[in-house]
Chains A and B, each alone.
Chain A
């Protein structure tokens, strides 16, 4: 059924655009790699062919009328205008077709909602404009940011193969296991979509939505945010790597060790140069989307940091803004998102970059103490 449908799809495409049928002119949905996505694909093809059949009959009669009953051909109008039998028939037949359609759709839908008995739970949190993946049973988590360089987007560089669909840290899942996603958001509504899995679910602040998947084929699967979430809605892709189970277990162990190392960084003694270096990198991933790499921001929604009252003012107020955010604005509370080392580095960097020559610094330890006082 699947292969057959694919072939027909390709054929239709070929007929519509005979000279252009090549890979990039995909005209149909892909069947995907999970049971759910295959079910959806089959539903999609069934309803598509039903529509084609109805269309062929209705438009056929219409074109016949247009062709055969032209006045220029001397057609004389008939005078019928009502027929109860016909009218009842064309009410009931569509109704029966719809009921036939609704049955498999209901079965698939109930299966999609069955999130019980999962092997792994991953919490997915949408932020403007990145995803956070937390492996809630393993006690670690991280952010997944777009890595396509701005130069490619602004057309100063040739675009890479996975333009706009590449991230620094993809989600990693093992094959053959039922993975449950718990979706929520930190600011506005986002929507997490991987077409190959047939999984799309809104991530809504204050709510936790559930979805699940079981992937049998290892590979890298790409998707995007599908709910308008502001300026960089088009720049927060979803990348999921499905790997064999042993590889997954090694990866989890590595992640746990790395998380431990991050925590140790807080206790280390930092120099100004080290903080500035780390700060520049951390700023680029966490802050530059809004405040821009050059610190000029996009006022009024995203104020400039260059020469700003916060970045060149009292240190405590600056820490407060970064750690706790500013309620009622787009400024998020980064205290929960970043570790102490990054927070200290970013604050130090903001006070000393782009001509903000404050000359002072804050250490990860101080941030740690600040957070604990709250």
Chain B
């Protein structure tokens, strides 16, 4: 359910990205007006973050965590049900703003005040309500994961024997519980400013527009790790499986994940280097941000060491996993460059930033989801997917993605600001390349739909353990997994 919903949202958010890239194909205004362009960038960001990536990982958690820890189902099924059905409601509200007078939210997915409060469109109140509902849904999902992981593990499965995917989700769930209330707080302050005459963010009333950014990014930075940690976990399952070799440095992987999560609370102001933070604050946030590179590096080194001297095969999940490691590292490098505060004065709010976060989110979160989907599809459906089509899907996505986002580095360095519907002539060539890549990447995703539908309807029967090197409890039960697995808990040595 979560997965279907998130794929629908992925296509909707993707369509909006196509509108953006179509407008930016050439200089000049051709397809949409600036007002609508801003609505598209805003909705694209919100839908992809809250509608596509987060629910997809919750879906994977709901399906796989019980199988991986030897539990019959999630601990709190009714709450699970509720947290899912809140999502379509939230997105119905959010998408309906497109048809309201004054249009949808047009202030960017970061909705900086006062553009989103005093100067926001009338639909902002609906947007706030939608965010509240999504937040409630996420928190309930997170509580469910924590309750399941802490209480329902099979006898003998100690914390340090849990699969990496379970570990990363456990940490993600704590992050969610810590920061979603902060997001709820900041939108509530907006609600008060807009409708009840308060001045949290209105300088004329003694408020502070910069306060908004501090509170928002205190949520926002852990949020990016919420979107990437479960992918780290999934990749840590997949690479050992197709290398036929145990994960290198399991314990250090767990500690690195924990370290990333903790540090993520201490770096929020690196999104705000140009707002005039005092120089001491600036230095603190620069150093803390650079520190994150250390545990992230440990993860990448561990993955490479796992592949080193293994026996590798390259089925679709492995292809996506390898692309994940390479492209995520490139996103990590540009992140390191952005962390250097003086250089950030040049990069900030240009296409360099757009390139950076698309490099960590598309090959990071999205490729992580694709890799997981191919990895576990045989377990879900009981059929093997079409390997040739899946490999085509991978190569087209890989080329399209790089074509779309790599030139954005160049555009940013040449001085093109983000979130503009039209640009000076020297940016024309790379924008065209980028748009072509984006169309290619977008169209390719329909192929994924085809592969999944085909796999669900039939195909070669999948054995209990379709991947030679895979390890874990989920491969010891038949494919497809029966309803309520592990009624008697298995023993884990």
- Least CB distance from A62 to B in Å reads 5
Which listed residue, A54, A66, A226, touches B350 by the CB 8 Å rule? A226
Q: Which one of A55, A77, A79, A235 has the greatest number of beta carbons of chain B within 10 Å? A: A77
B88 proximal to A (CB < 8 A): no
The contact of A153 among B29, B249, B312, by CB within 8 Å, is B29
Taking the complex as formed, is B420 at the interface, i.e. its CB lies under 8 A from any CB of chain A?
yes
Query: For the complex, what is the distance from the CA of A210 to the CA of B279, rounded to whole Å?
Result: 12
* B480 close to A (CB within 8 Å): no
> CB distance B294 to A91 under 8 Å?
yes
Q: Which residues of A contact B336 (CB under 8 A)?
A: 47, 51
> Are A98 and B119 neighbours in the complex by a CB distance under 8 Å?
no
Asked if B333 is at the interface (CB within 8 A of a chain A CB), the reply is yes
Nearest A residue (CB) for B419: A228
Q: Given A28-B413, A61-B308, A227-B349, verify A70-B420 contact (CB < 8 Å).
A: no
Smallest Cβ-Cβ distance to B108: which chain A residue: A228
Q: Which of B206-222 contact A (CB under 8 A)?
A: 207-210
User: Which of the candidate stretches A117-125, A154-162, A251-259 sits at the interface with the other chain?
Assistant: A154-162
Task: Point out the residues of chain A lying under 8 angstroms from B469, CB to CB.
Answer: 77
B252 CB contacts on chain A under 8 angstroms: 87
Q: Would A109 and B311 be within 8 Å (CB), given that A90-B297, A164-B422, A207-B210 are in contact?
A: no
> Please, how many angstroms separate the alpha-carbon atoms of A193 and B414 in the complex?
13
- B304 adjacent to A58 (CB under 8 Å): yes
- Choose among B245, B424, B429 the residue with the greatest number of A CB atoms under 10 Å from its CB: B424
**Closest chain A residue to B429 by CB distance?**
A24
The answer to whether B290 touches A101 (Cβ under 8 A) is yes
For the complex, is A340 an interface residue (Cβ under 8 Å from B)?
no
Q: Which residue of B lies closest to A32 (CB)?
A: B346
- CB-CB < 8 A to A365: which residues of B? none
A62 B291 Cβ-Cβ under 8 A: no
User: Which residues of chain B are near A113, meaning CB under 8 Å?
Assistant: 279, 282
Q: How far is the CB of B110 from chain A (nearest CB, A)?
A: 8
B107 in the interface, Cβ–Cβ < 8 Å? yes
B345 touches A40 (CB 8 A): yes
A61 touches B35 (CB 8 A): no
Assess whether B298 is interfacial by the CB under 8 Å rule.
yes
Is A229 an interface position by the 8 A CB rule? yes
Alpha-carbon separation in the docked complex, A72 to B145 (Å): 39
Query: What's the minimum C-beta distance from A183 to chain B, rounded to whole angstroms?
Result: 8
The answer, yes or no, to whether B301 is at the interface (CB within 8 Å) is yes
Interface of chain B residues 302 through 321 with chain A (CB within 8 A): 304-313
A187 to chain B, nearest CB (A): 7
Indicate whether A81 sits within 8 Å of B410 (C-beta atoms), given known contacts A69-B311, A98-B291.
Answer: no
A226 and B208 contacting across the interface, CB-CB below 8 Å: no
| Binary B-proximity of A267-288 (CB < 8 A = 1, otherwise 0) | 0000000000000000000000
Interface residues on B, range: 35 or more
Question: Which of B290, B330, B410, B413 sits near A55, CB closer than 8 Å?
Answer: B330
Cβ-defined contact, A58 with B301, below 8 A: yes
How far apart sit A72 and B106, CA to CA, in the bound complex (Å)? Answer: 53
Interface membership of B246, Cβ < 8 A: yes
Q: How far is the CA of A310 from the CA of B144 in the complex (A)?
A: 57
User: Quick check: A189 and B342 within 8 Å, CB to CB?
Assistant: no
Note all chain A residues with C-beta closer than 8 A to B115.
Answer: 188-189, 228-230
Q: Are A69 and B38 in contact (CB under 8 A)?
A: no
Check B345–A48 contact: CB distance below 8 A.
Answer: no
Chain A residues in 8 Å Cβ range of B247: 81
Most central of B279, B293, B340 by chain A CB within 10 Å: B340
How far, in whole Å, are A299 and B333 apart by their CA atoms in the complex? 45
B309 touches A78 (CB 8 A): yes
Given contacts A71-B313, A98-B291, A154-B29, contact A77 B340 (CB under 8 A): no
| Contact A205 to B330, CB < 8 A, known contacts A234-B421, A301-B102 | no
CB within 8 Å of A: which of B181-222?
A: 203-204, 207-210
Chain A 22-39, CB-CB to B under 8 Å as 1, else 0, gives 001111111000001101
- Contact between B424 and A228 (Cβ–Cβ < 8 Å)? no
- Which residue of A is nearest B409, CB measured? A27
- Are B345 and A200 closer than 8 Å at their CB atoms? yes
C-alpha gap A90/B336 in the complex (Å): 17
- Which chain B residues numbered 230 to 256 have a C-beta less than 8 Å away from chain A? 243-252
Question: Who on chain A is nearest to B245 by CB?
Answer: A77
Q: Which residues of B contact A234 (CB under 8 A)?
A: 34, 417, 419-423
CA distance A110 to B350 in the complex (A): 23
B473 within 8 A of A: no
Q: Which of A140-165 contact B (CB under 8 A)?
A: 152-155, 159, 161-165
A367 interface residue per 8 A CB criterion: no
Determine if B325 is an interface residue (Cβ-Cβ < 8 Å).
Answer: yes
Closest Cβ–Cβ distance, residue A331 to chain B (whole Å)? 11
Report how far A28 CA is from B123 CA in the complex, Å: 40
Kindly state whether residue A336 has any CB partner on chain B within 8 Å: no
What's the minimum C-beta distance from B44 to chain A, rounded to whole angstroms?
A: 14
Residues 243-277 of B contacting A (Cβ, < 8 Å)? 243-252, 274-276
- Asked if A266 is an interface residue, CB under 8 A from chain B, the answer is no
A189 to B340, CA, bound (A): 23
Q: Tell whether, in the assembled complex, residue B429 and residue A51 are in contact, meaning their CB atoms are under 8 Å apart.
A: no
Q: Is residue A102 contacting chain B, with contact meaning CB distance below 8 A?
A: yes
Q: Sample 15 A-B pairs with CB under 8 A, ordered by A number.
A: A27-B414, A28-B410, A29-B346, A58-B329, A76-B311, A77-B245, A77-B311, A112-B342, A187-B118, A198-B345, A200-B346, A205-B203, A228-B112, A235-B422, A299-B101
B interface residue numbers (CB < 8 A to A): 27-30, 34-35, 38, 101-102, 106-108, 112, 114-115, 118-119, 121-122, 203-204, 207-210, 243-252, 274-276, 279, 282-283, 286-287, 290-291, 293-294, 297-298, 300-301, 304-313, 322, 325-326, 329-330, 333, 336-337, 340-343, 345-346, 348-350, 409-410, 413-415, 417-426, 428-430, 469
In order of increasing CB-CB distance, the 6 nearest A-B pairs are A206-B203, A234-B420, A51-B333, A209-B276, A226-B349, A78-B309
Residues of A within 8 A of B (CB): 13, 20, 24-30, 36-37, 39-40, 43-44, 47-48, 51, 54-55, 58-59, 61-62, 64-66, 69-72, 75-83, 86-87, 90-91, 94-95, 98, 101-102, 105-106, 108-110, 112-113, 128, 152-155, 159, 161-165, 187-189, 191, 193, 195, 198-202, 204-207, 209-210, 223-235, 298-301, 327-328, 330
